[in-house]
Chains A and B, each alone.
Chain A
Amino acid sequence: MVPLSWYIILSAVVFSIGVIGFLTRRNLIMTFMSIELMLNSVNISFVAFSHYLQSMRGQIIVFFVIAVAAAETAIGLAIIIAYYKNNPTIKVDEINLLKG
């Protein structure tokens, strides 16, 4: 039997990888994937707690998160393509339209 803390540590590690990837990678696609990683790390802890507490609520929320992540991916990729058509770059440091 794997104890709950292992799942939580795994989730924290995956989440941290996501955060660091998001902050450091310069490729827009990679940044995007880092966000997916963070979402999935949360899914891990939801499922782990669901099993530990013998409650289905966590698993239901996981389905919601997966659905939202799918929609987010679809829209996010569409935005990236639209942006690329106007400005032929996907380097994060060159995208600064909101600069004050």
Chain B
Amino acid sequence: MTTLTETNARHAVRKPRLRGDRSPAASVVLHLTLIVASVIAVFPVLWVLLTSLKPAKFATTTDFFKETTFENYSNLIKDTEFLTWFGNSVVIAGLTTVLGVFVSATTGYAVSRFRFPGKRGLMWTLLITQMFPVAVLIVPIYNIMASMGLLNQPAGLVITYLTISVPFCAWMMKGFFDTIPREIDESGQVDGLTPFGTFWRLILPLAKPGLAVTAFYSFITAWGEVAYASAFMVGDENLTLAGGLQKFVNQYGAQWGPMTAASVLIAIPAALVFLFAQKHLVTGMSAGAVKG
């Protein structure tokens, strides 16, 4: 069928170029465009990686390689609080993720499957809370945390991050639940499961990839959050990575050696997992938004 139409088209109209056809010149242009774009995309990251492997005193040279060494890494781990910051970030982002997914999973399901009074309002709330600027909440939360003695405490930051992750996770998971056929719910009801039973025994196992992606994305969001972390956490041993990295580069000067080494150690795990998860990520986000 397809071949038939194609040959027909080829016979009928010669003039316009078809989708499959491309002149060699066009191929060259396309490849050049992609190569330039890829270089721009990769270069800053690559440059940080290369710099981290040079001795600190050569950090600003333009050579790609110069006396390759790992001393930036060993100095970073020995002389700075990097590992503490890393630990803080893992604990805070991890707790945020677990709580966020746990709290919002059933909501994602209910919003995806049922009609109930208040659903429209809830959907709007979930959407609007995602456009909350940091600036609206940061002062009141800061004051509340101060009065409860939670400033400089991981728990304070976890609670703060839940304001971001709960609406986001609910929204994302609605998108993933939407992709699971409703016939599965119906078969569960036929077999006598309650709505909770259907959710717990049938839908949740099927939604595991979606849950994983949601969890991962909320982890990355907390991992990379800057504003709250800079305002709420002071004192070297309490910083998260976003705050710690600022210590290396400030208005009085920059220690590019440890900064680049730290950047690499922060980015590698995140980037690896991200590249695996990204395909599902967009599906969930746009599905949730489009079918809302």
B is bound to A = no
| A residues apposed to B, CB below 8 Å | none
| B residues apposed to A, CB below 8 Å | none
